[in-house]
């Protein structure tokens, strides 16, 4: 799972990245602070409780009541689980800012878009305060609006995709004409596969061309038709959610107005203050505050056993006051919505022993694998290891005890043992 942070320069992409991944990166109040992409891991809670809450008392040695982990008894190889709230990893990519005209070489040009290859979704960080223009420079009055920021970004990504399709389109489309739609889809698939585009994305693109009234001689298709293909491919390959950032600089009504706009477009959106979350993440790192990632940013507690200076306390209380006005639980919550709602991902827990739910080293539910909805037991096997996929014989559902075939669908929170040839 890979999610890219995009937007015009100077909006808080790197601040968001740093708070989500607890990784220090360059952050500054001018455009193009980030040039090379930052890559890190964010941890998001699985919406359903970890199956370790279903483990019978007979097979665990740790007593739940005595456990500081709120009853969780699993042993995640990575991440953690407290109170049956299991955290799974999402790779985050923070790229350079995008400016209008990037497709013609302005700013960093299109180079950075290649950095987004293989991202499953994008989160656009938008500056709610509107204090900088689309190039990220401060300007008098309202320099640019959230709507403008959103529209130009979509346009730039689509123009970039169009320019990729345009390269050798008519020659390539003519070459595959005897193969019909199937060959045309394959031709488009090849062009976008380097960016992580799938056959499904190519099918969606060709369908869009047809329904836009394109003729049945694809090699004659012009800019407009290729643009409709790009638009459909963009929506399929890079669904976009929006973080209305820097909400600490605007009023509640103004935030509601902006959110309303994106909601009518059916876009997942949330008001955020990545600067506040960044400060809280640092404060948690140094033990000053406690909170669970994904809970509301005003819900932190100031720890009593560590001395907090009056200034620190003032800053923290100011954050609490400002954040308490905001709906939604911040960046981790937004990321969870992208993964589990927009992308409909599920989580399955493979084990080596379906009776004890452990791996070969006796670790309880060590792995949590994120899969697309509609994945089969065989897909899960491939998701764990290619050898397990190619040697797949059958699987068993550890909850029901039933044996299942390779084509059986996996559901959220399934605990599965894969039987494979070694
Ligand atoms: N008030 C406020 N300032 C913020 C917030 N998030 C980021 N900033 C500030 O905005 C400026 C730009 O932040 P960055 O994270 O470097 O922005 P960026 O989008 O990565 O910028 P580029 O890499 O140049 O494209 C910095 O001064 C941040 O401190 C926020 O939520 N509120
Ligand atoms: Mg940056």
For the chain, percent of residues with pLDDT exceeding 90: 81
Number of other CB atoms surrounding residue 219 within 10 Å: 14
Residue 409 belongs to domain with CATH number? 3.10.20.30
- 49-53, 108-112, 219-223 — which is least confidently predicted? 108-112
pLDDT of residue 43: 97
Asked whether residue 270 is assigned to any structural domain, the reply reads yes
Task: Tell whether the model's pLDDT for residue 192 goes beyond 60.
Answer: yes
Cα separation, 367 vs 370, whole angstroms: 10
Mean pLDDT of 36-42: 96
Q: pTM for this structure?
A: 0.94
Indicate whether 132 and 270 sit together in one domain: yes
Q: What's the pLDDT tens digit per position in 381-418?
A: 999 999 999 999 999 999 999 999 999 999 999 999 99
Question: Do residues 408 and 402 touch, judged by C-beta distance below 8 A?
Answer: no
Residue 39 Cβ inside 6 Å of ligand 1? The answer reads: no
In angstroms, the first-to-last Cα distance of the chain is 28
Asked whether residue 42 is assigned to any structural domain, the reply reads yes
Give the number of domains in the chain. Answer: 3
Number of other CB atoms surrounding residue 252 within 10 Å: 12
Q: What's the pLDDT tens digit per position in 111-152?
A: 767 788 889 999 999 999 988 999 999 987 668 899 999 999
Residue 131 Cβ inside 6 Å of ligand 1? The answer reads: no
Asked whether residue 58 is assigned to any structural domain, the reply reads no
Residue 132 Cβ inside 6 Å of ligand 1? The answer reads: no
Indicate whether 209 and 330 sit together in one domain: no
Starting from the CA of residue 322, give the closest ligand. 1
Pocket test for ligand 1, best of 6, 7, 9, 12 (most atoms within 8 A of CB): 12
Question: Do residues 128 and 271 touch, judged by C-beta distance below 8 A?
Answer: yes
Task: Tell whether the model's pLDDT for residue 61 goes beyond 80.
Answer: no
Paired with 376 in beta bridges are 409
Q: Which atom of ligand 1 is nearest to the CA of 276?
A: 31
Q: Which of 335, 316, 325, 327 is nearest to 277 (CA)?
A: 316
Indicate whether 126 and 40 sit together in one domain: yes
Indicate whether 188 and 319 sit together in one domain: no
Domain C-terminal end among 215, 233, 251:
233
Q: Whose CA is nearest to atom 7 of ligand 1?
A: 12
| Bridge pairing between strands 289-290 and 301-302 | antiparallel
Q: What's the pLDDT tens digit per position in 316-361?
A: 999 999 999 888 899 999 999 999 999 999 999 999 999 999 999 9
Domain that holds residue 416: 347-420
Q: Whose CA is nearest to atom 8 of ligand 1?
A: 12
Task: Tell whether the model's pLDDT for residue 67 goes beyond 80.
Answer: no
| Bridge pairing between strands 392-397 and 403-404 | antiparallel
Indicate whether 17 and 128 sit together in one domain: yes
Q: Whose CA is nearest to atom 9 of ligand 1?
A: 12
Residue 97 Cβ inside 6 Å of ligand 1? The answer reads: yes
DSSP string, 32-65: T---SPEEEEEEEE-SSPPGGGGS-GGG-SS-ST
Residue 273 Cβ inside 6 Å of ligand 1? The answer reads: yes
pLDDT confidence bin for 68, thresholds 50/70/90: confident
- How far, in Å, is the centroid of ligand 2 from the Cα of 97? 7
Cα separation, 415 vs 377, whole angstroms: 11
pLDDT of residue 188: 97
- How far, in Å, is the centroid of ligand 2 from the Cα of 94? 7
Indicate whether 116 and 138 sit together in one domain: yes
Length reported for the chain: 422
Indicate whether 131 and 271 sit together in one domain: yes
- 97-106, 202-211, 246-255 — which is least confidently predicted? 97-106
Task: Tell whether the model's pLDDT for residue 154 goes beyond 90.
Answer: yes
Residue 25 Cβ inside 6 Å of ligand 1? The answer reads: no
Indicate whether 29 and 131 sit together in one domain: yes
Question: Do residues 236 and 195 touch, judged by C-beta distance below 8 A?
Answer: no
Residue located via tokens 């409709």: 228
Indicate whether 363 and 416 sit together in one domain: yes
Pocket test for ligand 1, best of 4, 10, 36, 328 (most atoms within 8 A of CB): 10
Indicate whether 123 and 269 sit together in one domain: yes
Cα atoms found within 13 Å of the Cα of residue 78, Cβ hemisphere only = 9
pLDDT of residue 55: 85
Q: Whose CA is nearest to atom 11 of ligand 1?
A: 29
Indicate whether 316 and 381 sit together in one domain: no
Indicate whether 175 and 191 sit together in one domain: yes
Task: Tell whether the model's pLDDT for residue 64 goes beyond 90.
Answer: no
375 φ, ψ (degrees, to nearest 5): -75, 150
- 62-66, 108-112, 327-331, 359-363 — which is least confidently predicted? 62-66
Task: Tell whether the model's pLDDT for residue 59 goes beyond 90.
Answer: no
């Amino acid at each position: 799972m890979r999610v890219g942070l995009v937007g015009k320069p100077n909006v808080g992409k790197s601040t968001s990245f740093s708070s989500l991944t607890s990784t220090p990166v360059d952050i500054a109040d001018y455009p193009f602070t980030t040039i090379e992409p930052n890559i890190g891991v964010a941890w998001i809670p699985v919406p359903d409780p970890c199956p370790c809450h279903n483990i019978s008392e007979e097979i665990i040695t740790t007593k739940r009541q005595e456990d500081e982990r709120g009853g969780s008894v699993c042993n995640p190889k990575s991440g953690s689980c407290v109170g049956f709230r299991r955290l799974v990893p999402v790779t985050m990519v923070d790229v350079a800012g995008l400016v209008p005209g990037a497709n013609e070489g302005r700013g960093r040009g299109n180079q950075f878009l290649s950095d987004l290859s293989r991202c499953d979704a994008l989160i656009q960080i938008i500056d709610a305060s509107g204090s900088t223009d689309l190039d990220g420079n401060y300007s008098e009055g309202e320099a640019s609006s959230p709507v403008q920021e959103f529209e130009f970004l979509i346009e730039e990504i689509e123009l970039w995709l169009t320019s990729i399709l345009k390269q050798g389109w008519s020659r390539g489309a003519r070459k595959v004409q005897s193969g019909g739609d199937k060959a045309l889809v394959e031709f488009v698939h090849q062009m976008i596969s380097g960016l992580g585009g799938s056959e499904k994305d190519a099918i969606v693109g060709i369908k869009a061309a047809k329904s836009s009234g394109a003729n049945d001689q694809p090699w004659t298709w012009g800019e407009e038709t290729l643009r409709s293909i790009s638009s459909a491919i963009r929506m399929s390959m890079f669904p976009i959610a929006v973080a209305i950032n820097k909400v600490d600089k605007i009023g509640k009504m103004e935030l509601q107005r902006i959110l309303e706009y994106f909601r009518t477009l059916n876009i997942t959106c949330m008001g955020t203050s990545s600067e506040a979350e960044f400060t809280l993440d640092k404060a948690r790192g140094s033990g000053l505050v406690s909170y669970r990632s994904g809970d509301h940013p005003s819900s932190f507690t100031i720890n009593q056993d560590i001395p907090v200076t009056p200034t620190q306390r003032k800053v923290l209380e100011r954050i609490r006051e400002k954040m308490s006005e905001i709906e939604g639980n911040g960046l981790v919550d937004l990321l969870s919505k992208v993964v589990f709602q927009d992308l409909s991902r599920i989580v399955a827990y493979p084990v080596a022993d379906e009776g004890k739910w452990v791996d070969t080293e006796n670790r309880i539910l060590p792995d949590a694998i994120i899969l697309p909805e509609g994945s089969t037991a065989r897909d899960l096997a491939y998701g764990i290891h290619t050898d397990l996929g190619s040697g797949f014989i059958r699987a068993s559902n550890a909850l029901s005890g039933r044996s299942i075939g390779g084509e059986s669908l996996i559901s959220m929170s399934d605990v599965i043992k894969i039987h494979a040839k070694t």
